[in-house]
Amino acid sequence: MKKNLTYDYIVVGTGPAGSVIAKTLTDDKRTSVLVLEAGGNHDKDKPIKDSTFAPELEESFSPNYFWQGEGVPLEGLDGRTFEWTTGRLSGGGSSINGEQYVRPTTAVLEKWERLLGPLWSPEKAIRRFKQLENFNGSTTNRAAHGYKGRIDIRQAPENPTSMAQKLATAIERASGHPIILDYNDPDTPIGPFTRWQLYQQPDGRRESSSTAFLSSDIMTPSGVGVHNRKLTVLFRTTALRILFSGKRAIGVEFLKDGKCSRAYSRKKVIISAGINSPQILMLSGIGSAKMLKKAGIPVVFNNPNVGQRLKNHTLNFAVFSVNSNDRPLPAQDPNALYTGGAFLPDPSGKDPEERAVQLLGIGADDQLTIAILYLRPKSKGNIRLQSKDPLNIVLADEGFLSDPDDMDAVKRIYRTYIKNIALELSRMDPSYQLLSPTFDVIDDDEKLEEFIKENFDHNHHQQGFLRMAPLSKGGVVDSRENLHGVKDLIVADASIIPFTVDGNTSSAAYLIGYTIAKQLCKKTTRNKKQRTRTEWVEE
């Protein structure tokens, strides 16, 4: 091994999981970590740090900060295609997302615990969220939040607008669920609200995994750890494949400045590359043996589960006219971004205490749009390798609406929630009228289905395609994120989510990263204590 490129750990990716792992491991000043980040550090760029750019980042700045790619035509959406992308910069997806901080609820985490054991219990997850967050907002349950963590969370706006209040009241009347203050309080996960919790610093600037865990007190802008921290971050460095000695991961091959180089790890290689994690595994010989052999890649471990069970929440919209006197956001707080919202159960009445629908108010001076996310999709997609060329994009089929139950669920949301919200809004203020889809479309099954397909949109909630579960249950990694079939290789990001989260995915990625980092730290401490005892006995 080359000593100058040998570290205790190598981490691929600086998203929520990768950054928290790198920082937490190097809190022990004896532990060295190399982090590979394909993009640059753009924390000081105005479109990244200024939260008001968040809703339009992808449309306006895609080539600057995003991986460039497209998924395959989707059969369930009449052959439509969507971008296959995430952030290609320090912070990964956390630097380009919509900034909504939404924890998985107890109902979801209980499923994790039943499958994976007590490490993933709701109680332990909430404890870790509290250690991570620095909450700046209002709640009826202070014990639900943390106030000394590194991730700034701002509840905004402090004084909601009349548009937000009207929307929340209409949802309350339409759904029968009372307005709540804090949807991340485990006791109040369901209901409408006027204030979102956002990944924002107190002044409204974006908070990302980069600003929270790779900040100036952790490393220099060029990626060198400060205060004797053994951290090295290589920017504009693309991981190509994992290096193995037999079935043990020993390093990573990467591309930097047009040159192919290698770095080696003494302990573990940790892949936190999000939607790019499956390609790295497959190029390294972990995946379906049939597919790998066809691509000319030597098989290290045959696991057909790699790249399967891809899930993503559906995304549709309803548009309303508004009262021109109602402001969408407070004039003094444009960083608030959103005009109220809600988490609601399936309108069918099944599982009335569990989230199935997310509504997001996006206000403007002339209209109010409700983004509609169905949070419990049955449809599954997959990610397949085309060739052993690491620059050849994968074939990503997200499988939207491939299960007819999902189309039925989205139609129920329009027919029950959206229709009733429209009626309640117009009763409160006749200026608020449903423009799209119209009532006649909602009432016509064929027209509504056509509308849903034509107006379907895409979000970045991809999850589950490297599932954390036993091999026999579609697993790629075990309950501690170690890859089945090989040694010293970990995957830690949203790709390993075992059951679909009921909200935005970034908080789950932070939880996953922090959980594995703490486990690795405990293991290191145990090993050091064992060595010390052995040395004492020998003396």
Q: Is 366 exposed, middle or buried (0-12, 13-18, 19+ CB in 10 A)?
A: exposed
* Final residue in a domain of this structure, among 455, 485, 520: 455
The phi, psi pair for 444, rounded to 5°, reads -110, 115
Sequence-separated (6 or more) residues with CB below 8 Å from residue 481: 468, 490, 491, 492, 496, 512, 516
Q: Are 199 and 96 in contact (CB under 8 A)?
A: no
pLDDT for position 534: 38
Measured between alpha carbons, how far is 116 from 386 in angstroms, rounded to an integer? 32
* Final residue in a domain of this structure, among 411, 426, 455: 455
136 in a domain, yes or no? no
530 in a domain, yes or no? yes
520 in a domain, yes or no? yes
End-to-end CA distance of the chain: 32
Amino acid in the structure at residue 450: E
In this structure, are 299 and 177 located in the same domain?
A: no
30-34, long-range: CB < 8 A, 24+ apart:
30/230, 31/230, 31/524, 32/7, 32/8, 32/230, 32/231, 32/232, 33/7, 33/8, 33/9, 33/230, 33/231, 33/232, 34/5, 34/7, 34/9, 34/10, 34/232, 34/233, 34/234, 34/263, 34/265
In this structure, are 174 and 301 located in the same domain?
A: no
135 in a domain, yes or no? no
Q: How many domains does the chain have?
A: 2
In this structure, are 445 and 341 located in the same domain?
A: yes
What is the domain-level CATH number for residue 25? 3.50.50.60
52: three-class secondary structure by DSSP: helix
In this structure, are 218 and 257 located in the same domain?
A: yes
149 in a domain, yes or no? no
pLDDT in tens, the chain (539 residues): 444 699 999 999 999 999 999 999 999 999 999 999 999 999 999 999 999 999 989 989 999 999 999 999 999 999 999 999 999 999 999 999 999 999 999 999 999 999 999 999 999 999 999 999 999 999 999 999 999 999 999 999 999 999 999 999 999 999 999 999 999 999 999 999 999 999 999 999 999 999 999 999 999 999 999 999 999 999 999 999 999 999 999 999 999 999 999 999 999 999 999 999 999 999 999 999 999 999 999 999 999 999 999 999 999 999 999 999 999 999 999 999 999 999 999 999 999 999 999 999 999 999 999 999 999 999 999 999 999 999 999 999 999 999 999 999 999 999 999 999 999 999 999 999 999 999 999 999 999 999 999 999 999 999 999 999 999 999 999 998 899 999 999 999 999 999 999 999 999 999 999 999 999 998 876 666 554 433 333 33
pLDDT for position 183: 98
DSSP codes joined into one string, 412-432: HIIIIIIHHHHHHHHHH-TT-
pLDDT for position 4: 66
477 in a domain, yes or no? yes
In this structure, are 182 and 162 located in the same domain?
A: yes
Q: Are 418 and 369 in contact (CB under 8 A)?
A: no
Enclosing domain of residue 416:
156-199+314-376+403-455
* Final residue in a domain of this structure, among 455, 485, 518: 455
